[in-house]
Amino acid sequence: MNSSELAKLLGLRIKGTGKRRVNGVAPYYQAKKGEVTFFSLDYLKRINETESDILIVPESSVSYDKRDIIISASPYKDWLRVVALFRFDFEKPRMHKSFTAFPGVYIGKDVKIGRGTVIYPNAVIMDRTVIGKNVVIGPNTTIGFYGFSYSKENNQYVRNSQSGYVFVSDNVEIGANVCIDRSTAGFTFVGKGTKIDNLVQIGHNVVIGENVVITGQVGIAGSSIIGDNVVIAGQVGIKDNISIGENSIILAKSAVFRSVPPNRTYSGIPARPHKETLRAWARLFL
């Protein structure tokens, strides 16, 4: 399918050559040439940050030099319609000789698992998941199930289609009862050497760097980015679409609503530099 055929299928106008081949879908920060992405009005200022050459946007004033621009009143909803074109169905499990899987493990289709990986009982590895070498996956953990993504139509919530991947790099350790959601499009990613404790929720399209430590009951909402060597303590909640800079530490029970710069220690609700939190507590309790 090319971009003009896609626009016709969506019932939308297109500017540009209309001849660019559609190879997939991805968020703007992951999209490559041939992958359809979108920009809402608030994010148009970031339009030069994407490598995509097929964009769904809310206005025709966007330059279509070297791009095909599909004009939409609701770019996100129309992009989800494109995601639905790449959906797939689950299949019966299959095993591989290069790794160890305990009884009760389910492995879907289009799954790759590296040598030396150990998957403990009743873990679930859903379709379109790539697991690196020497990874440990704890019991009852689920990797690659649907992310929590819905649109409201006719006063009812409808699940958005999701056709992305999960990538877990080499030497990652994942505890028991962890959930790592499949991306809407593009990928959810866990970097090399990262250690994830039990009962952690990682939302769709989250990108986690290398050698990150995430302790129990942490929740990371969709499309957030965690830098290398970050430490996230217990019961921290992280909002969607923000970033935690490399080498930063988020102390226990913090609620992170805004991006955190590199090399910082944050705490509290809302999370702020730890010294500011201590001063605020002193004014309240001393």
- CA-to-CA distance for 48 and 58, rounded, in angstroms? 16
- CA-to-CA distance for 219 and 231, rounded, in angstroms? 13
Which 8-state DSSP code applies to residue 21? B
Backbone angles phi, psi at 97, to 5 degrees: -80, -15
Beta strand 265-267 with 243-244 is unpaired
**Residue at token pair 């001849």:** 19
Decide if 178 contacts 160 (C-beta within 8 A): no
- CA-to-CA distance for 132 and 240, rounded, in angstroms? 26
274 is catalytic: no
- CA-to-CA distance for 10 and 83, rounded, in angstroms? 12
**Residue at token pair 């609701």:** 74
Retrieve residue 114's tokens. 């590296």
CA Rg, the chain, in Å?
20
Decide if 170 contacts 134 (C-beta within 8 A): yes
Give the CA count within 13 Å in the CB-facing half-sphere of 38: 20
Q: How many CB atoms lie within 10 A of CB 159?
A: 11
Candidate list 204, 232, 237, 260, residue with the active-site label: 204
| One-letter identity of residue 44 | L
Catalytic machinery residues: 204
